[in-house]
Amino acid sequence: MLALLTAVVISTTVAGEKICAESSVRTFYTRRNFEPAWSAENLAALQRAIDAADDDGLNPNDYHRAALASVRVPEQRDLLATDAFCLLGAHLQRGRVEPEFLLPAWCREPDIDLAAILQAALDANAVEATLARLAPQHEAYRSLRDVLAGYRRIEREGGWEALPPGKSLRLGDRNERVAALRRRLSLPPSDLFDADADRAVRDFQTHHGLDADGVAGAATRRELDVPVAARIEQLAINLERWRWMPDDLGASYVVVNIAAFRLEAVADGRAALSMKTVVGKQFTQTPFFAARITGIVVNPPWNVPETIAAKELWPKQRRDRGYFAREHIEVTRDGRLRQPPGQWSSLGRLKFDMPNRFDVYLHDTPAKSLFDLTVRAFSHGCIRVERPLDLAEWLLRAQPHDDLLAAIAAGRERLIPLAAPERVYILYWTAWIAGDGRVAFHRDVYDRDKALARALRR
């Protein structure tokens, strides 16, 4: 017994299975003086928890499911069970994939003492409950998990039918394609595109990042025809992103969903403010990260980053000698480009400082017409906000401050520090729970879902 359990110290493979949580497994058995740990009752509970891992968008086969059912050597089964618990616990607690580099997190050190957690779970015969507590406890995560279960039921029942090809459908149309559309939207049987169908189509469009015009055109049909298996994968991917989040988001915070082109200010679990955003272009993507908004700059100048100056602005000036003058761009003594405050400023009238290594921030913009578009990926990586004055007032809600409109009208640059810096999360969610409590999907504008899906499958 001792020899077999001690083998984990010198070997990373047991019964042909890779031991992935080596450090936690070694710590666990060292503390137990290499005595076996798993009773039949606890082992059965672990197997149930592994079977249920797909409820969280994880693959049960990644946790020795088949080996635990087939291995007959007790010591080997003990080791595999310990590794499975630690690995599943780590993945539930902080994700299976390392978020920044999209690499599998198989052997990354856990953020918690999984060996101690496992021992407590075994002592209390609470293996399933303990693993459940390691998953995110955010309401949005649990709701998304419930949605995934619902979509898996739909898949087991055969999924949904693809719509017959043809021209756009709209209010007043009557034909068999309308009947198929109504079935897809779970409406009462009919071949008439009536007011109920119009409302259902607009609702579907709203929850899928489309123009809510009530017309079932090519873009709407494309979203309707996404297979249920693809939606299941999309939900699993976004559950993984939730596992990257901190356990405590804060009593209040600002969250930007890059993929949805939206910002929300949240207080006491509710959205106090919501607005559109413009995010980075495909080749200047807005990164995901967390920071704190530390201050508001009124009438900010734009100190042009050298890469933008070299690749975009200087070539325009060489082609057109009047470009800098028209755009109010100055060349400083050190050769840098600067756009002073004013109605022409690319940063608008308000900028929100949030120190981070990407040098990304929130700001106003004079290009207001971009907010009328559905897909709003036009920036160099920073985030333009639709209603910067409302956001500024919300951030300053708990501290005395001068009239912002008067400060803007003065025309001078001014920094207003926040007495209590506000957390801000810049995220990339393509499936989330909308304000009405229902799931919303959005297109993968940066192809990040594809990259994460590949990483999860490794």
User: What CA–CA distance (Å, rounded) separates 297 from 392?
Assistant: 10
Side-chain-side CA neighbours of residue 334 (13 Å)? 5
Largest CA distance in the chain: 83
Q: Where are the alpha helices (DSSP H) in 157-292?
A: 176-184, 195-206, 218-224, 228-243
Per-domain boundaries in the chain: 2-135, 160-226, 246-457
Pick the CATH number of 160-226 from 1.10.760.10, 3.30.1490.440, 1.10.101.10, 3.20.20.70: 1.10.101.10
Evaluate whether 224 touches 184 at the Cβ level (below 8 Å).
yes
User: What CA–CA distance (Å, rounded) separates 322 from 439?
Assistant: 50
Residue 5: its pLDDT value, please? 59
Q: What is the pLDDT along the chain (458 residues), one digit of tens a residue?
A: 555 556 555 567 888 899 999 999 999 999 999 999 999 999 999 999 999 999 999 999 999 999 999 999 999 999 999 999 999 999 999 899 887 655 443 334 446 899 999 999 999 999 999 999 999 999 999 999 999 999 999 999 999 999 999 999 999 999 999 999 999 999 999 999 999 999 999 999 999 999 999 999 999 999 999 999 999 999 999 999 999 998 889 999 999 999 999 999 999 989 999 999 999 999 999 999 899 999 999 999 999 999 999 999 999 999 999 999 999 999 999 989 999 998 889 999 999 999 998 999 999 999 999 999 999 999 999 999 999 999 999 999 999 999 999 999 999 999 999 999 999 999 999 999 998 999 999 999 999 999 999 988 87
How far are the Cα atoms of 30, 34, 138, 395 from residue 27, in angstroms, in the given order? Answer: 5, 10, 30, 46
246-457 topology per CATH: L,D-transpeptidase catalytic domain-like (2.40.440)
User: What CA–CA distance (Å, rounded) separates 60 from 457?
Assistant: 12
Residue 101: its pLDDT value, please? 57
Residue 107: its pLDDT value, please? 35
Q: b/e per residue, 79-102, with b = 16+ CB within 10 A?
A: bbbbbbbbbbbbbbbbbbbebeee
pTM of the model: 0.91
Q: Which two tokens stand for residue 445?
A: 């504008």
